[in-house]
Amino acid sequence: MPAPCETAVKSLIPAIRAHIAKELIQTYNMKQTDVAYALGITQTAVSKYVGNVRGQAVRLDRANEIQEMMNETASKIAHKKVSGPQLTLEICSVCRAARRNGLMCQICERVDPTLKNTLCNICRIE
């Protein structure tokens, strides 16, 4: 079984970035190039997030706490209150909260079909 962070990097982090990118564009009217610069990713990645081509492996819309955290992060970005290493810490906090809430269990079960989410508490005890 891959470490939770390995799975998160491939599935959960892109979903978090996708939500934040969409929030920045829709709520704060930011351009894709500005969103890309703020998130430290390419404009092409932002375009794929906005077009639902990338960042859709994990459903984050089911947890209000996680949505609020992502929206708060987007607000901080839009108001230039967070960037660089602080932004990385914000995204890590969202990721940890999502994992604690079991939002990554479905991905882990796809990666390792023998894993039952009722037996795995690795993410929830962190």
Could you report the per-residue pLDDT of 69-104, keeping only the tens digit for each? 999 999 999 999 999 999 999 999 999 999 888 888
Q: Burial of 20 by CB count in 10 Å (0-12 exposed, 13-18 middle, 19+ buried)?
A: buried
Mean pLDDT of the chain: 89
Mean pLDDT of 36-43: 97
Please give the model's pTM, rounded to 2 decimal places: 0.89
When pLDDT is cut at 50, 70 and 90, the band that residue 31 belongs to is very high
User: Nearest 5°: CA angle at 47, between 44 and 51?
Assistant: 140
Rounded alpha-carbon distances, angstroms, from residue 109 to 26, 33, 56, 115, 119: 33, 35, 16, 6, 11
How far apart, in whole angstroms, are the C-alpha atoms of residue 126 and residue 114? 22
pLDDT at 126 over 60: no
Rounded alpha-carbon distances, angstroms, from residue 13 to 20, 114, 116: 11, 24, 22
- Sign (positive or negative) of CA dihedral 23, 62, 89, 54: negative
Task: Find tokens 């997030």 and name the residue.
Answer: 49
pLDDT at 117 over 60: no
How far apart, in whole angstroms, are the C-alpha atoms of residue 51 and residue 89? 26
Read off the pLDDT of residues 15-26 as tens digits, 9 standing for 90 and up: 999 999 999 999
- Helix 32-39 to helix 13-28 angle, to the nearest 10 degrees? 140
